Amino acid sequence: MSWVSCWGLNYEEDYYLPSWLNKHRELYRSFAANGNAIGQIILKTLERELYLYSNELTEVHQPKDYSGEFVRLFRYPAPKDGKPHITAPTPAHTDATSMTLLFNWQGGLQITKREGQERVDKVDRDYEGEEWLYVPPEPGHVIVNLGDTMVVLSNGVLKSGRHRVVTPPGPQAKFHRYSVLTNLRPANNTPMRALKSDMIPPEEENGETLTAREWSLAKVKAILDRMAAAKK
């Protein structure tokens, strides 16, 4: 697997793009901005359902503020022998984001099976006996995955989606798999603690509260360490 990340988007245009992407700066900027706009609609819905004050989630996910938001391009090489990889190219994990928006046109993304979840193309069972379901991409649609930030801000009321990427099923396995994602993360200085609402249980005081930046760096490091260990 190979990937390129382009970090940061704010109205001051204070971010770096590699030379091959800089000539497409407007496309990059519009993609990131439109991803944030989609996320704002979802956050407004969550505000309403969680009985939060208006803009309590959306105001800390604004593109004018510095955060850990990025656009990432993934390339998963097809198996040279045409057979699925023995191990998943990316191990099972949850995202260290508020929300991830994934655009791709091949299969390979899988989520764990939950009770009542039936809409799948195929069920895989890994060596630990855990069942995984393919998430089939659909034209004109984006796959939205809540991340661990929302678990913290809602004190567990919202759940992050555990997922992994495997070799695409069937004839798709002969081709390299490409995907593009963007995400929403709180502004760097956002306190990572549960919001107050009748729908959110109060959290116990457990010492110093990390900022979103401090919390995100720790989570990303843990994910990268797991991916490195899985390749050994």
The predicted structure's pLDDT at residue 216: 87
The predicted structure's pLDDT at residue 38: 94
CATH label of the domain that carries residue 133: 2.60.120.330
pTM given for the model = 0.82
Q: What is the dihedral of CA 215, 216, 219, 224, to 10 degrees?
A: -150
Q: What's the burial of 225, exposed, middle or buried (CB within 10 Å: 0-12/13-18/19+)?
A: exposed
The predicted structure's pLDDT at residue 73: 87
- For residue 93, the Cα-to-chain-centroid distance in whole angstroms is 10
The predicted structure's pLDDT at residue 97: 92
The predicted structure's pLDDT at residue 119: 45
- The neighbouring-strand residues paired with 108 are none
Q: How far apart are CA 100 and CA 90, in angstroms?
A: 16
- For residue 113, the Cα-to-chain-centroid distance in whole angstroms is 18
pLDDT per position in the chain (232 positions), as tens?
555 555 555 545 566 778 888 888 889 888 988 999 999 999 999 999 999 988 999 999 998 888 888 888 888 888 887 666 656 667 788 898 999 999 999 999 999 876 544 444 445 555 455 788 889 899 999 999 999 999 999 999 999 988 998 888 888 888 888 999 999 999 999 999 999 999 999 988 777 899 999 998 888 788 778 777 867 6
Residue 167, domain extent: 2-231
- Tally the domains of the chain: 1
Tokens standing for 123?
């069920």
CB contact set of 146 (below 8 Å; sequence gap of 6+)? 98, 99, 158, 159, 160, 161
**H/E element holding 212?**
helix 212-231
Which of 28, 150, 10, 13 has the alpha carbon at shortest distance from 66? 10
Q: Please spell the DSSP secondary structure of 98-141, one letter per residue.
A: SEEEEEESS--EEEE--TT----S-EEE-TT--EEEE----TT-
Percent of the chain that is helix, strand, coil (3-state, to 5): 25, 25, 50
The greatest distance separating any two alpha carbons of the chain, rounded to the nearest whole angstrom, comes to 55
Q: How far apart are CA 54 and CA 51, in angstroms?
A: 9
